[in-house]
C-alpha cells in the first residue's frame, strides 16, 4: 500500500516537473527571440545521424536474433508435405527479409542524405508513372507466384487421399481428443449427432444397435426425465400441479423430442445394417495416437461443440474442427519418434497434437500424445488390438493394457447401469422395486442381452 502511494506520488511530481521544464523552455526562447517552431541546423543534423544510428541498431538486432534462434526458428519438419510447406515458408521469408532490408535502408538512408541544408530548397516531385508501375507490378507478380505455389501445396494436402491411405478420425470436444482408426476394412463407421449418448455412444456412431437404443432411450429412456414417455405421463398426470411456465417448458421439450424421434425412425428405415461392420472394427484411442512412419494418413476432423483446431506442429498440419462438418487433411509422417529423439538429442521428446483455438477454460490442456512408430512396432501394436474370432473374422481385443479400447457398439441395456437413481434432481421419487420392474420391462422390450461391462 505504502509503495503504491509512493509510486503515485513520484508520477504526479514527475508530471509537474515536466510541465515546469516546458515553461522554462518557453520563457528562455522568448528571451532569445526564437520561435518555437524554428528548428536549428544543428538539431536537423543530429536527427539525421540518429536515423542512421537507429537503422544500424535495427538491422544489427535483427541479424543477432536470426543468428541466435536460427533464421526461421522452426526446427525440422517431420512429414513429407511439411518439407514442402517449409520450402514455401523459406521462400516467403527470403522475399520478406530482402524487402525489409531494402525499404528500411531507403527510408533511413534518405532521411540522412536529404537532411535540410541551408539555402537548398526542397525538390518538388509530385508524380512518376514509371515508378508507380514498378512498385505495383513487381509486388503483384511476386504475390501471384507465392499464391499459386501455396495453392498447389494446399490442394495436395486437402484432396481426398488415395486408397492406400489409412483413414483416421479426430473427434474433438471441450476439452479432449478421441482418435478413431478405420480398422481392418479401412472404412470409418458412419455417425450422426442425433445418436450422441454421453456414456454409451459419445462419438455418435451409427449402427443398428445405436439407432435402436437411441429410439428406446428417447421414448422410454430408463430414468430419462427428457424421455417422451416421462414428459407425456408427467404432463397428463392429474395429481401433478405445475405452474404454467414449467408446463410450457415441458411442452416445448416434448415437441422437440417428438421431432427428433421422427428423424430417428426415418434413420432406422434408411439404415442398411451391412454398414454396421464398418463401425464395429473401428479402434478408438483416447490417450496416444499411434502412427506408422512413411504411411499416408487421411485425417478427418470433427467437433462436437465449438470450433477447435487440430495442430500437429512437427508435421506442419493444422486444420479447424467445425461442428456439423468434416474437415480433412492428409499427410505422411516420415521421421519416427525414436529418430526425432536422436536428431533433437532429447530423450524426452514426443510429437504432440494440440488444440490451436481458444475453445474455453481448459483449452490449454487439450492435448494428445502422438507416437510415430517404425513399421514393425506399429504392426505389433495393431496385432495387439485385433484378434481373430472363431469364424476367422477380425474382432477387437481388449487385452492390451497400454491401449484403451472401446467398441464402437452400444446396447440399450448398458445405460441401465449408468443412470443411477437420484442423479437427476427432476426425478420423481421411485422405489427400488419400481426401478427393478421398469428395468425388466425395458429389457424385454429391447429384447437384447445385457452385455458385460468390459465392452466385449
Ligand atoms: Cu479446443
Task: With CA atoms as reference, report the closest residue to 195 among 185, 187, 205.
Answer: 205
Q: How far is CA 73 from CA 93, 249, 251, 302, 318, in A?
A: 12, 56, 59, 31, 18
- β-bridge partners, 134: none
**Which helix (H) or strand (E) element contains residue 90?**
helix 80-113
- β-bridge partners, 201: 197
Cα–ligand 1 centroid distance for 154 (angstroms): 23
Cα–ligand 1 centroid distance for 291 (angstroms): 22
Cα–ligand 1 centroid distance for 363 (angstroms): 5
Cα–ligand 1 centroid distance for 266 (angstroms): 33
- Quote the pTM value: 0.67
Helices H / strands E in the chain, number of each: 12, 12
User: What span, in angstroms and rounded, lies between the C-alpha atoms of 197 and 113?
Assistant: 73
Show pLDDT as tens, one digit a residue, over the chain (456 residues): 788 999 999 999 999 999 999 998 888 877 776 666 677 888 888 999 999 999 999 999 999 998 888 888 788 888 988 888 899 999 999 999 999 999 999 999 999 998 888 888 888 888 899 999 999 999 999 999 999 999 998 888 888 888 888 889 999 998 889 888 887 778 888 888 888 877 667 788 887 777 877 787 777 765 566 778 888 888 888 887 888 888 888 888 888 888 988 998 998 888 887 777 777 767 777 778 888 888 899 999 999 999 999 999 999 989 999 998 999 898 899 998 888 888 888 888 899 999 999 988 889 989 988 989 888 888 777 766 655 444 544 444 433 222 222 333 222 222 222 233 333 222 233 344 555 565 566 556 555 444 444 433
Cα–ligand 1 centroid distance for 356 (angstroms): 7
User: What span, in angstroms and rounded, lies between the C-alpha atoms of 195 and 212?
Assistant: 10
User: What span, in angstroms and rounded, lies between the C-alpha atoms of 372 and 382?
Assistant: 13
> Phi/psi at 53 (nearest 5 deg)?
-60, -40
Cα–ligand 1 centroid distance for 175 (angstroms): 6
pLDDT tens-digit readout, 335-345: 988 888 888 88
Task: With CA atoms as reference, report the closest residue to 350 among 332, 372, 334.
Answer: 372
Q: Helices (DSSP H) in 360-448: which residue ranges?
A: 375-385, 412-418, 432-446
Cα–ligand 1 centroid distance for 446 (angstroms): 37
Cα–ligand 1 centroid distance for 368 (angstroms): 11
Cα–ligand 1 centroid distance for 210 (angstroms): 27
Cα–ligand 1 centroid distance for 399 (angstroms): 31
For 51-69, give the DSSP string. HHHHHHHHHHHHHHHHHHH
User: What span, in angstroms and rounded, lies between the C-alpha atoms of 371 and 349?
Assistant: 10
Cα–ligand 1 centroid distance for 314 (angstroms): 18
- β-bridge partners, 372: 291
Strand, helix or coil for residue 193: helix
User: What span, in angstroms and rounded, lies between the C-alpha atoms of 446 and 456?
Assistant: 19
Cα–ligand 1 centroid distance for 303 (angstroms): 9
Cα–ligand 1 centroid distance for 318 (angstroms): 13
Q: Do the beta carbons of residue 352 and residue 368 sit within 8 Å?
A: yes
Kindly report the length of the chain.
456
Q: Is 297 exposed, middle or buried (0-12, 13-18, 19+ CB in 10 A)?
A: buried
Kindly state the cell numbers that stand for 282: 473401428
Cα–ligand 1 centroid distance for 170 (angstroms): 12
Q: How far is CA 359 from CA 169, 173, 329, in A?
A: 19, 9, 21
Amino acid at each position: 500500500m505504502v509503495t503504491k502511494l509512493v509510486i503515485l506520488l513520484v508520477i504526479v511530481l514527475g508530471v509537474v516537473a515536466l510541465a515546469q521544464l516546458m515553461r522554462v523552455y518557453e520563457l528562455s526562447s522568448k528571451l532569445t527571440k526564437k520561435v518555437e517552431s524554428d528548428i536549428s541546423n544543428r538539431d536537423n543534423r543530429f536527427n539525421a545521424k540518429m536515423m542512421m544510428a537507429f537503422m544500424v541498431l535495427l538491422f544489427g538486432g535483427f541479424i543477432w536474433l536470426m543468428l541466435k534462434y536460427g533464421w526461421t526458428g522452426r526446427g525440422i519438419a517431420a512429414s513429407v508435405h511439411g518439407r514442402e510447406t517449409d520450402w514455401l515458408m523459406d521462400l516467403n521469408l527470403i522475399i520478406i527479409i530482402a524487402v525489409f532490408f531494402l525499404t528500411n535502408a531507403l527510408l533511413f538512408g534518405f532521411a540522412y542524405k536529404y537532411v535540410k541544408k541551408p539555402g537548398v530548397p526542397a525538390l518538388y516531385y509530385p508524380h512518376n508513372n514509371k515508378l508507380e508501375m514498378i512498385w505495383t507490378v513487381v509486388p503483384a507478380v511476386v504475390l501471384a507466384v507465392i499464391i499459386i505455389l501455396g495453392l498447389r501445396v494446399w490442394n495436395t494436402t486437402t484432396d481426398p487421399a488415395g486408397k492406400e491411405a489409412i483413414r483416421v478420425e479426430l473427434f474433438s470436444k471441450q476439452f479432449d481428443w478421441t482418435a478413431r482408426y478405420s480398422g481392418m476394412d479401412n472404412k470409418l463407421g458412419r455417425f450422426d449427432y442425433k445418436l450422441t449418448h454421453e456414456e454409451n455412444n459419445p462419438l455418435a456412431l451409427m449402427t443398428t444397435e445405436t439407432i435402436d437404443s437411441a429410439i428406446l432411450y428417447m421414448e422410454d429412456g430408463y430414468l430419462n426425465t427428457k424421455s417422451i414417455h416421462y414428459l407425456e405421463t408427467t404432463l397428463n398426470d392429474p395429481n401433478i400441479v405445475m405452474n404454467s411456465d414449467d408446463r410450457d417448458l415441458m411442452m416445448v421439450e416434448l415437441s422437440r423430442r417428438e421431432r427428433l424421434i421422427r428423424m430417428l425412425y426415418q434413420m432406422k428405415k434408411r439404415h442398411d445394417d451391412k454398414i454396421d461392420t464398418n463401425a464395429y472394427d473401428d479402434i478408438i484411442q483416447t490417450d496416444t495416437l499411434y502412427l506408422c512412419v512413411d504411411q499416408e494418413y487421411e485425417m478427418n476432423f470433427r467437433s462436437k461443440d465449438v470450433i477447435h483446431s487440430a495442430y500437429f506442429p512437427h508435421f506442419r498440419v493444422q486444420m479447424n474442427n467445425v461442428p456439423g462438418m468434416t474437415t480433412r487433411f492428409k499427410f505422411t509422417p516420415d521421421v519416427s519418434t525414436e529418430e526425432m529423439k536422436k536428431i533433437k538429442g532429447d530423450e524426452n521428446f514426443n510429437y504432440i497434437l494440440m488444440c490451436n483455438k481458444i475453445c474455453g477454460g481448459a483449452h490449454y490442456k487439450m492435448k494428445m500424445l502422438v507416437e510415430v512408430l517404425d513399421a514393425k512396432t506399429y504392426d505389433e501394436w495393431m496385432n495387439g488390438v485385433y484378434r481373430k474370432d472363431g469364424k476367422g473374422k477380425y474382432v477387437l481385443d481388449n487385452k492390451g493394457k497400454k491401449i484403451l479400447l472401446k467398441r464402437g457398439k452400444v446396447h440399450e441395456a448398458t445405460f441401465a447401469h449408468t443412470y443411477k437413481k437420484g442423479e437427476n434432481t427432476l426425478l420423481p421419487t421411485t422405489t427400488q422395486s419400481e426401478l427393478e420392474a421398469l428395468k425388466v420391462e425395458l429389457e424385454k422390450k429391447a429384447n437384447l442381452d445385457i452385455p458385460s461391462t468390459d465392452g466385449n
